[in-house]
Structure 1
Amino acid sequence: MINNGSKNIISQLKQDVERFLHTAHGKLDFKTYREFMVTGNRKNYESVYFYRRKKLTTFGLLAFLYPGDQQYIEALENEIWHVCNEFTWCLPAHIDTSLEEQDYQTYKQTNQLLFTVDLFAAETAFTLAELVHLFHNQLDDFLVEKVKIEIDRRVFEPFLERSFHWEKATHNWASVCAGSIGVAAFYLLEGDGRQEEIINRVMHTLDYYLQGFEEDGACTEGYSYWQYGFGYFVYFADLLQRYRQIDLFGKEKVRAVALFQQKVFLANHYVVHFSDAEPTAEPMLGFTHFLHKKFPEVHVPRESMRKTNIVDDCGRWAPAIRELWWYDERLKGSEWPNEDHLMEHSSIYLSRMDAYAFAAKAGHNDEPHNHNDIGQFILYGRGDVFLRDLGSGEYHKDYFNDKRYQFVCNSAEGHSIPVINGLYQREGAHFFGTMKKHHESNTHESIKLDISSAYEEPLRFFRQFDWYKSDKPQLIVTDCFTFDEQPSSLTESFIADDFPYDIQDQTIYLKGKKETLQISYEQTKVIPNVKRKSFRNHQGEQEYYLHILFDAIDLEKNMTIRFAFNFLGG
């Protein structure tokens, strides 16, 4: 059971247990619960909520690894008790206040407490149901029954009595909510007539989830949401195959989605972070081993990329336990291969070669976790992301309402795309771009984007990327504009990481840890200006970046502006 590949993981789990036992943490008190409704702040409640899930999952993992150690069972029972007594299993940001916060008159009419079923209520049901399934002979009988009652009244009954917005969603909510409920139903409702109804509805919702992927299998939400949403699809599909002999893995779309991971890593842990994604990520090796056995084309990363901390920031049980169950030490991984991938349906391109990589996107501005970013690109070299995406900002009430594009990381201002007549790209599916391969050889890739429909201004706009592969790669970006009327202004905009920089002789130099990037521009056409700016990242921390702006000098109806990005070495 405990192999060499698990030793570092177990060491981390034991360190976490010591911290849990000796560190006091906040409580889910009333003020903390109401804070989101009053101020929009999500962080305080969620930090306590997820800390409790981390404890629950960690004690569960150690109880599984050391079945004879009663201290872990007792600690697990205590955390299960706390979770069962929470006012709601949802996050305040997701609550339908007409349910949890119903008034007394409504309660008198129904004589029933009502519950929202969101991502985390569903995940909690999955977690508790699987824990009871694994440890029912070791847990207190009363606590086992308590778990069954709470899952029934908080998740099963609300799901059966109502419909939810996520049942027809084409993103991670569909798979996480439905998949979790389906798993809990497999474990707890055997012989109960409701199980069949639940499983049928779950499978219907998972069909919607798969519709959210184009035929190329790309996840436009970003890698972390692929790992999250597709993970819960796979957890349910695995049990469905075992309990019902129904094979969802035989679908061609599922195979395509399974291959997405190897098409989105730049190098090592650096990932293409379009949309609400983080710049680095760790592949779940156990999960990847499972997929590799289903689909041999799935690349297995090297062992050193394996997570040693398998309990994620939200304390999710389902992926953590499967990192132990599904990890196969016989599978020897390797570096991400040198490959080019054009995901034409999703308009995402990646070229990876040794220590360098380039990625670009078109698509439309109404994608899940959308950023206004048609024409955006990323340039990586030897351990640094030079031209970057800001990725995910701090989640806040306003982050998901009509103020979303006031956050720079979501707006066109925070991306490497032009500003035309002082106007940025806008949100909406009718703002779009297309991508196609223009040239292909062993040493040169050319990708052409038609971004004419990405702007409100009437124009023709083509952006071409010429990627020259050598020991020191070069990227040429050529923007061709054709306006109906002479423009009043045109600013080329590039987002770079917070590097030391220098400007001299029509050139900007960005100095990374091991590499220098030279940005050459046409002095007769543009005037450069570099500004150091900041935003609040997903962790709520202030993060700095460089905003490199080039104002066009001579404005004409037909304009071509060219930039060269050359890697020079250390």
Structure 2
Amino acid sequence: MNKQMLLEIVHEMKPVDLSLYYPKGDAAAFWKRALSSGVLQADISEIRAEAVRLDGQSIPELSYTLFSIYSRTGSRLEYERVYFERRRRLNTYVFLALLEPEHPEVLEKLEDILWAICDEYTWCLPAHLPADHNAADINRYIDLFSSETGFTLSEVLLLLGERLSQLLRSRIHHEVERRLFRPFLENGPYDWETARHNWAAVCAGSIGAAALLSVEDPAMLADILLRTERAMLYYLEGFGEDGACLEGLGYWNYGFGYFTYYSDLLCSRSTGRLDWFKQKKVAQIARFQQKCFIDGSHVANFSDSVPQVLVHMGLSHYLAEVCTDVERPPSALRAPYTEDHCSRFAPAFRNLIWTRAGKEDEAWQAASYYLPDAAWLVSRYVSEAGSFGFAAKGGHNAEPHNHNDLGHFILSGRGEIYASDLGSGEYTADYFGAGRYQYDCNGSQGHSLPIIDGQYQLAGREFSSTVLHASAEENDELTLDLTQAYQVTGLQSLIRSFVWHKEECPRLELTDTYRYAGIPASWTERFVTWREPKLLHPGTLLLPGTTARGVEVTYDSLKVEPEITVHMYRDHFGMEKLWYSLDFHVLQLGAVGKLAFTFQFL
């Protein structure tokens, strides 16, 4: 779309008013119904509980000492905990002000936190700023969180309107323009405008949404939207036709969520003339969430994703309304108000205005999916013995938020994980730097993969897999050529095959077949688990369950010898967590080999 066409649409856009959010624009009627209906009672109770927690607390300070920790140590959590606590405070008082307009003290607390956020040195996180930045040009930088903040404040202005003081409204307009709109138009293009991952959707989507709410000059709005629309095209290029998000479900929630929030406002203001959800690919991406869950709240958490995910009901219900074949999630998977440690306003608000009453299934229906562009096989299976899940992946080792994990798999049953993906670790400078693959959760040493001549998989687009066979039917099957995943002199072929037998108590058969020029110095088959393996007898180990008998691992004791080692890593929230490597060392090495393992649920 060119600027002239976009400018014509902008001139004909419907006015900015509360009908963008509420039926007929009647906010009072909406919140009155919300207070008396059952569908939002849990959310409202959680918001009120947060207000009780905040009562009497002062606004936490974003001090220079906190700000400088990242540059001195590479640690992000100290500053970010306070930054996100301020956003939680903002969200809570906005929602209380909407729910309980008769309480003037709530509005007073809201205005104080709004003023404090306007006072912040930058809305960016220290980790997203250049090390050599200076105060004179701080506003030229735009990251995920500065964009989100500008979007949030623009929505708060519309939602609260003249209930906020004229001075505060004027200041918010000024801060959003100088921190977002002017830098975007005058200092770009930014690297994230051509990113094929969540940054494009969140940054451009937030700026575009904020502009749709607060920019009155048609030419300026058209300029912003033109750049935003281009960024969204790049974002969508990061998806294959199968709709899979290679960054994982958490980043689908994040990136596609902000894509949706922007798209909804754009569609509403343009009265349907600009509607991203008319695209077949966008509708396919909308179905990704339901394909990720393997067992209860456990997901196929490849890449930087946490093992268990709760869903944003507002986003999920909206997508189910605008896209065919999008399933409404089980109500038990509702993310509580406090679940988002980043305290993002846009999804929290839409959990209130987009969640719809309706009958929810108690669990996702059993299903198996093969996603050919991502090379993921995902299975959710239910029998009289319980619910079970299996997922495995191919792909390449230069994916967004990449882990060196080609051929890795996850196995779950009855709400417990047996073959684990460690997921995302604690984000630090080194985590996204030269030391990334020294972290167990990122390097192949922390995945269920072969270790060949003591060497792991390497990062880079050239380190890839090829899918030889895939089937998601009566039995789920995936066969991968992993030869190119390793840089091992002498490795001529490595084929890994999975067969997932969906019986009453299902079993997974895994076979690695290799060919080598000469004889490898060593070959180890590593499996990763949070369960402490128990050797029952030669040829059989147990991965014990907490509430069930667990999984029996059988192997040829004449070919391999097991070794169990305990490890420690720091998870995404900075908590230390144990994991076990179950290493099977090949006893008699040859130029060819075939190694078979069976994982049998008991």
Pair 1:413-2:441 in alignment? no
For residue 415 of structure 1, report the CA deviation from its aligned partner: 0.2
TM-score, normalization by structure 2:
0.90
Q: Which whole-Å CA distance do the structure 1 matches of 2:572 and 2:413 have between them?
A: 24
For residue 307 of structure 1, report the CA deviation from its aligned partner: 2.3
Pair 1:72-2:103 in alignment? no
1:167 matched residue in structure 2: 193
Contact 1:310 1:323 in 2 (8 A): no
264, 271, 289: which is aligned to 2:317? 289
Query: Judging changes above 3 Å, is the alpha-carbon distance between structure 1 residues 311 and 456 closer, same or farther for their aligned structure 2 residues?
Result: closer
| Percent of aligned pairs with the same amino acid | 38
For residue 435 of structure 1, report the CA deviation from its aligned partner: 2.6
Q: Which whole-Å CA distance do the structure 2 matches of 1:194 and 1:260 have between them?
A: 35
Q: Which whole-Å CA distance do the structure 1 matches of 2:543 and 2:138 have between them?
A: 59
202, 207, 217: which is aligned to 1:191? 217
2:540 matched residue in structure 1: 507
For residue 22 of structure 1, report the CA deviation from its aligned partner: 3.3
For residue 500 of structure 1, report the CA deviation from its aligned partner: 5.8
SS of 1:321's equivalent in the other structure is helix
Structure 2 counterpart of 1:194, one-letter code: M
After TM superposition, list the pairs within 5 Å mapping 1:79-228 onto structure 2.
79-99=113-133, 101-102=134-135, 107=136, 114-162=139-187, 163-228=189-254
User: More displaced, 191-200 or 541-550?
Assistant: 191-200
After TM superposition, list the pairs within 5 Å mapping 1:18-417 onto structure 2.
18-23=52-57, 26-99=60-133, 101-102=134-135, 107=136, 114-162=139-187, 163-244=189-270, 245-309=273-337, 312-354=340-382, 355-417=387-449
SS of 2:465's equivalent in the other structure is strand
Contact 2:567 2:578 in 1 (8 A): yes
Pair 1:488-2:533 in alignment? no
Q: Which whole-Å CA distance do the structure 2 matches of 1:372 and 1:475 have between them?
A: 22
Q: Which whole-Å CA distance do the structure 1 matches of 2:298 and 2:57 have between them?
A: 33
Structure 1 counterpart of 2:153, one-letter code: L
Q: Which whole-Å CA distance do the structure 1 matches of 2:549 and 2:100 have between them?
A: 47
1:549 matched residue in structure 2: 583
Contact 2:565 2:582 in 1 (8 A): yes
Structure 2 counterpart of 1:253, one-letter code: K
31, 34, 38: which is aligned to 1:4? 38
For residue 330 of structure 1, report the CA deviation from its aligned partner: 2.9
SS of 1:49's equivalent in the other structure is helix
Gaps of 5+ in 1: none
Q: Which whole-Å CA distance do the structure 2 matches of 1:277 and 1:23 have between them?
A: 33
Q: Which whole-Å CA distance do the structure 1 matches of 2:212 and 2:45 have between them?
A: 32
Query: Judging changes above 3 Å, is the alpha-carbon distance between structure 1 residues 25 and 564 closer, same or farther for their aligned structure 2 residues?
Result: farther
1:537 matched residue in structure 2: 571
Contact 1:178 1:202 in 2 (8 A): yes
Contact 2:71 2:131 in 1 (8 A): no
Pair 1:456-2:487 in alignment? yes
TM-score, normalization by structure 1:
0.95
Instruction: Spell out, residue by residue over 1:485-508, the C-alpha distance to the aligned partner (whole angstroms, 9 max, x if none).
Output: 321110100001133633413111
Query: Judging changes above 3 Å, is the alpha-carbon distance between structure 1 residues 23 and 430 closer, same or farther for their aligned structure 2 residues?
Result: same
Query: Judging changes above 3 Å, is the alpha-carbon distance between structure 1 residues 368 and 113 closer, same or farther for their aligned structure 2 residues?
Result: closer
Q: Which whole-Å CA distance do the structure 1 matches of 2:576 and 2:536 have between them?
A: 26
Structure 1 counterpart of 2:496, one-letter code: R
Q: Which whole-Å CA distance do the structure 1 matches of 2:239 and 2:456 have between them?
A: 27
Contact 1:42 1:93 in 2 (8 A): yes
Q: Which whole-Å CA distance do the structure 1 matches of 2:414 and 2:109 have between them?
A: 45
Instruction: Spell out, residue by residue over 1:443-477, the C-alpha distance to the aligned partner (whole angstroms, 9 max, x if none).
Output: x2221111111011242111000111111001000
Q: Which whole-Å CA distance do the structure 2 matches of 1:388 and 1:478 have between them?
A: 18
Instruction: Spell out, residue by residue over 1:170-229, the C-alpha distance to the aligned partner (whole angstroms, 9 max, x if none).
Output: 000000000000011011102342111001100000000000011100011011000000
Contact 2:332 2:362 in 1 (8 A): no
SS of 1:137's equivalent in the other structure is helix
Q: Would you identify which runs of 4 or more consecutive aligned residues in structure 1 move more than 6 Å?
A: none
For residue 301 of structure 1, report the CA deviation from its aligned partner: 1.7
Q: Which whole-Å CA distance do the structure 2 matches of 1:438 and 1:364 have between them?
A: 17
Q: Which whole-Å CA distance do the structure 1 matches of 2:470 and 2:146 have between them?
A: 48
For residue 406 of structure 1, report the CA deviation from its aligned partner: 1.1
Contact 1:9 1:310 in 2 (8 A): no
Contact 2:320 2:326 in 1 (8 A): yes
Contact 2:531 2:545 in 1 (8 A): no
Number of residue pairs the alignment of both structures matches: 558
SS of 1:22's equivalent in the other structure is coil
After TM superposition, list the pairs within 5 Å mapping 1:414-493 onto structure 2.
414-438=446-470, 441-442=473-474, 444-457=475-488, 458-493=491-526
Q: Which whole-Å CA distance do the structure 1 matches of 2:138 and 2:538 have between them?
A: 71
For residue 410 of structure 1, report the CA deviation from its aligned partner: 0.5
For residue 440 of structure 1, report the CA deviation from its aligned partner: 5.7
Q: Which whole-Å CA distance do the structure 2 matches of 1:217 and 1:452 have between them?
A: 27
Q: Which whole-Å CA distance do the structure 1 matches of 2:365 and 2:394 have between them?
A: 24
Instruction: Spell out, residue by residue over 1:512-568, the C-alpha distance to the aligned partner (whole angstroms, 9 max, x if none).
Output: 122311000111111100111110111111101111001111111111000010011
Query: Judging changes above 3 Å, is the alpha-carbon distance between structure 1 residues 440 and 193 closer, same or farther for their aligned structure 2 residues?
Result: closer
User: More displaced, 303-312 or 123-132?
Assistant: 303-312
Q: Which whole-Å CA distance do the structure 1 matches of 2:418 and 2:110 have between them?
A: 45
User: More displaced, 157-166 or 229-238?
Assistant: 157-166
For residue 266 of structure 1, report the CA deviation from its aligned partner: 1.0
Q: Which whole-Å CA distance do the structure 2 matches of 1:298 and 1:305 have between them?
A: 16
SS of 1:493's equivalent in the other structure is strand
Contact 1:532 1:545 in 2 (8 A): yes
Pair 1:559-2:593 in alignment? yes
SS of 1:233's equivalent in the other structure is helix
Structure 2 counterpart of 1:338, one-letter code: A
Q: Which whole-Å CA distance do the structure 1 matches of 2:570 and 2:198 have between them?
A: 24
For residue 234 of structure 1, report the CA deviation from its aligned partner: 0.3
Structure 1 counterpart of 2:353, one-letter code: W
Q: Which whole-Å CA distance do the structure 1 matches of 2:246 and 2:291 have between them?
A: 12
Q: Which whole-Å CA distance do the structure 2 matches of 1:113 and 1:306 have between them?
A: 38
For residue 392 of structure 1, report the CA deviation from its aligned partner: 0.5
Q: Which whole-Å CA distance do the structure 2 matches of 1:365 and 1:194 have between them?
A: 41
Instruction: Spell out, residue by residue over 1:331-389, the C-alpha distance to the aligned partner (whole angstroms, 9 max, x if none).
Output: 53452111110001111111111110100001110111110000000000111100000
2:24 matched residue in structure 1: none
SS of 2:130's equivalent in the other structure is coil
User: More displaced, 60-69 or 275-284?
Assistant: 60-69
User: More displaced, 453-462 or 253-262?
Assistant: 453-462
Query: Judging changes above 3 Å, is the alpha-carbon distance between structure 1 residues 190 and 311 closer, same or farther for their aligned structure 2 residues?
Result: farther
Query: Judging changes above 3 Å, is the alpha-carbon distance between structure 1 residues 60 and 532 closer, same or farther for their aligned structure 2 residues?
Result: same
Contact 2:420 2:528 in 1 (8 A): yes
2:8 matched residue in structure 1: none
Instruction: Spell out, residue by residue over 1:91-146, the C-alpha distance to the aligned partner (whole angstroms, 9 max, x if none).
Output: 000013555x15xxxx5xxxx76431000000000000000011111000100000
For residue 295 of structure 1, report the CA deviation from its aligned partner: 1.2
Q: Which whole-Å CA distance do the structure 1 matches of 2:564 and 2:371 have between them?
A: 33
